[in-house]
């Protein structure tokens, strides 16, 4: 998806082994529609060559404050005047210190200090765990945040130096996601949003169970869109193969009952509850502790079912219920059933999937049912629809008193 179409990003590289990820990052940003202007510190050129970065970005790389190629020799000014954001990735401990004290030690730091005041500056720290935890670095991180600089990551894990802990730079895909998020309107800033997603899995025995074809894509797209809009997002997810969207708290569950329990234990204080999960209507009450064996006589197992709790209806019936949104995947007469389902669940907004072949697909077509009637959202990528839905939900939320 061209989520960064037309965006001009100045990508700054400072000295660190994570420079190798900057190559992938450049490709990712360009694939998302952005143009990338690379600026490197001298230290960065020891880790990855300007030739590589020029080839990937398709633009000459700037490394020097004194550059006779530039007519006015003021790269530190010119480079940011038409930019939409500056991203420093990797950002070394030393470069954070320089930014924190407003230093101008080379082209990149001078350019950051001389940037227009409204131009977003993001940094993706990358360093050894001890360097990250050092009080001096933590003091600089606080200073950067106070100065309105966005600090993306770092992550914890194995480090190139062989030690383990906080300090790994976020992966290229995560940084692209963060850049996309930075450009989205903050219509849910400060709101708490809980989303259920994916299928549930109801065991029959230790190796078998009943599930459905839900991929979780729509729920995950909504979680990402809600977080992009500034919300604090909890995603309660059945089994899926999807990556957790950046900045989203994900809680994994298997059965409908587990999903119900997690939702009910955390729903207090939520502003919005979006039930996207394809929850199994029934569970097997006589699930076997041991694997069921085929009988020699050809007898069949007798499964006994019980109804699962309706999570959405239960949340909607709470005295201080959040703004509840449900989904409907009907195979016929969606318009008739959609209206009825909104009423039956007693929710303000119900989203109908037009056609029931949406499971697993990247695209969808939706219709919104609310008290005023219905609105159709034409066929589009699920992420695009998710952003439209989040806008629609934010418009329907009661203004904070
Ligand atoms: O009743 P039906 O399953 O068609 O309703 C679908 C909507 O209700 C979806 O939003 C789904 O996430 C939610 N649901 C639920 N708990 C259930 C069944 C459905 O939250 N047990």
Of 182, 215, 249, the residue at which a domain comes to its end is 182
Q: Based on the domain organization, do 253 and 385 belong to the same domain?
A: yes
Q: 250 or 400: whose pLDDT is higher?
A: 250
Q: How far apart are CA 317 and CA 325, in angstroms?
A: 13
| Contact predicate 167/125, CB 8 Å | yes
- The 10s digit of each residue's pLDDT in 194-218 is 999 999 999 999 999 999 999 999 9
Strand, helix or coil at 368? strand
| Inside any domain, residue 296 | yes
- Tell me which residue range forms the domain holding 212: 192-397
Nearest atom in ligand 1 to the alpha carbon of residue 327 is 10
- What are the structure tokens assigned to 60, written together? 């000459």
Q: Based on the domain organization, do 173 and 225 belong to the same domain?
A: no
Q: Report whether residue 277 contacts ligand 1, using a CB cutoff of 6 Å.
A: yes
Total domains present in the chain: 2
Which residue stretches of 58-134 are H helix?
75-81, 93-101, 107-113, 129-133
Q: Based on the domain organization, do 174 and 223 belong to the same domain?
A: no
91 noted as active-site residue: no
- Compute, in angstroms, the gap from residue 221 CA to the centroid of ligand 1: 18
Q: Which helix (H) or strand (E) holds 323?
A: strand 323-328
- Over range 62-71, report the average pLDDT: 89
Q: Based on the domain organization, do 109 and 242 belong to the same domain?
A: no
pLDDT grade for 299, boundaries at 50, 70 and 90: confident
Measured between alpha carbons, how far is residue 48 from residues 44, 67, 86, 159 in Å?
6, 20, 19, 18
Q: For a substitution probing ligand 1, which of 307, 326, 347, 393 has the most ligand atoms within 8 Å of its CB?
A: 326
Q: 362 or 310: whose pLDDT is higher?
A: 310
Q: Report whether residue 275 contacts ligand 1, using a CB cutoff of 6 Å.
A: yes
| Paired residues of 38 in beta bridges | 11
34 closest CA partner among 64, 1, 12, 63: 1
Q: Based on the domain organization, do 209 and 332 belong to the same domain?
A: yes
| Inside any domain, residue 237 | yes
Q: How far apart are CA 213 and CA 200, in angstroms?
A: 10
Q: What is the CATH classification number for the domain harbouring 278?
A: 3.40.50.10300
Angle among Cα 377, 378, 379 to the nearest 5 degrees reads 125
256 closest CA partner among 309, 298, 216: 309
Q: How far apart are CA 64 and CA 251, in angstroms?
A: 47
Of 182, 202, 227, the residue at which a domain comes to its end is 182
| Inside any domain, residue 299 | yes
| Inside any domain, residue 3 | no
Q: Based on the domain organization, do 271 and 333 belong to the same domain?
A: yes
Measured between alpha carbons, how far is residue 200 from residues 215, 238, 398 in Å?
11, 5, 32
The counts of H helices and E strands in the chain are: 13, 19
Of 152, 182, 212, the residue at which a domain comes to its end is 182
Nearest atom in ligand 1 to the alpha carbon of residue 315 is 20
Q: What is the pLDDT of residue 401?
A: 44
Q: Based on the domain organization, do 46 and 173 belong to the same domain?
A: yes
Q: Based on the domain organization, do 202 and 343 belong to the same domain?
A: yes
Q: For a substitution probing ligand 1, which of 277, 318, 321, 331 has the most ligand atoms within 8 Å of its CB?
A: 277
Q: How far apart are CA 1 and CA 315, in angstroms?
A: 34
| Inside any domain, residue 2 | no
Q: What is the CATH classification number for the domain harbouring 112?
A: 3.40.50.1950
Q: Based on the domain organization, do 221 and 114 belong to the same domain?
A: no
- Compute, in angstroms, the gap from residue 276 CA to the centroid of ligand 1: 8
Measured between alpha carbons, how far is residue 87 from residues 61, 128, 394 in Å?
15, 20, 29
Residue with tokens 């903050």: 186
- DSSP E strand stretches across 76-225: 85-91, 121-125, 150-151, 155-158, 164-168, 192-197, 202-205, 208-210
Is the pLDDT assigned to residue 143 strictly greater than 80?
yes
Is the pLDDT assigned to residue 298 strictly greater than 80?
no
Q: Based on the domain organization, do 337 and 281 belong to the same domain?
A: yes
Q: What is the pLDDT of residue 296?
A: 75
Backbone angles phi, psi at 244, to 5 degrees: -70, 130
- The 10s digit of each residue's pLDDT in 78-123 is 899 999 999 999 999 999 999 999 999 999 999 999 999 999 999 9
| Inside any domain, residue 222 | yes
Q: Based on the domain organization, do 158 and 252 belong to the same domain?
A: no
This model's pTM is above 0.75: yes
Q: Report whether residue 196 contacts ligand 1, using a CB cutoff of 6 Å.
A: yes
Q: How far apart are CA 121 and CA 128, in angstroms?
A: 23
Is the pLDDT assigned to residue 289 strictly greater than 60?
yes
Weakest mean pLDDT among 29-33, 160-164, 188-192: 160-164
Backbone angles phi, psi at 108, to 5 degrees: -65, -45
| Inside any domain, residue 187 | no
Q: How far apart are CA 177 and CA 4, in angstroms?
A: 10
Cis peptide before 154 (omega within 30 of 0): yes
Q: Based on the domain organization, do 258 and 222 belong to the same domain?
A: yes
| Inside any domain, residue 247 | yes
């Amino acid at each position: 998806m061209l989520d960064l179409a037309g965006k001009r990003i100045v990508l700054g590289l400072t000295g660190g082994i994570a420079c190798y990820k900057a190559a992938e990052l450049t490709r990712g940003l360009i694939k998302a529609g952005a143009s990338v202007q690379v600026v490197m510190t001298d230290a960065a050129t020891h880790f990855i060559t300007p030739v590589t970065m020029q080839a990937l970005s398709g633009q000459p790389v700037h490394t020097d404050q004194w550059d006779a190629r530039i007519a006015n020799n003021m790269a530190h000014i010119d480079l940011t005047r038409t930019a939409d954001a500056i991203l420093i990735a990797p950002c070394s401990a030393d470069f954070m210190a320089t930014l924190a004290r407003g230093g101008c030690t080379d082209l990149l730091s001078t350019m950051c200090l001389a940037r227009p005041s409204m131009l977003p500056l993001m940094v993706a720290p990358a360093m050894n765990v001890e360097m990250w935890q050092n009080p001096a670095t933590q003091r600089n991180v606080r200073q950067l945040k106070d100065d309105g600089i966005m600090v993306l990551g770092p992550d914890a894990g194995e480090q190139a130096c062989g030690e383990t802990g906080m300090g790994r730079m976020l992966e290229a895909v995560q940084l692209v996601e963060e850049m996309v998020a930075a450009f989205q309107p903050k219509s849910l800033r400060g709101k708490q949003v809980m989303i259920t997603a994916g299928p549930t899995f109801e065991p029959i025995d230790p190796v078998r169970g009943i599930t459905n074809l839900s991929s979780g894509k729509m729920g995950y797209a909504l979680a990402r869109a809600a977080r992009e809009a500034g919300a604090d997002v909890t995603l309660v997810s059945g089994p899926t193969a999807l990556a957790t969207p950046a900045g989203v708290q994900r809680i994994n569950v298997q059965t409908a009952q587990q999903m119900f329990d997690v939702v009910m234990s955390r729903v207090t204080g939520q502003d919005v509850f979006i039930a996207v999960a394809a929850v199994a209507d029934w569970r097997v009450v006589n699930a076997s502790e041991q694997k069921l064996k085929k009988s020699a006589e050809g007898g069949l197992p007798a499964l006994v079912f019980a109804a699962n709790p309706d999570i959405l209806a239960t949340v909607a019936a709470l005295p201080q219920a959040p703004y509840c949104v449900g989904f409907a995947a009907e195979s016929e007469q969606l318009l008739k059933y959609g209206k009825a389902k909104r009423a039956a669940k007693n929710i303000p907004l119900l989203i109908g999937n037009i056609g029931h072949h949406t499971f697993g697909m990247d695209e969808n077509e939706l219709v919104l049912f609310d008290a005023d009637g219905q609105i159709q959202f034409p066929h589009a990528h699920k992420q695009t629809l998710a952003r439209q839905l989040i806008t629609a939900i934010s418009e329907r939320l009661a203004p904070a008193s």
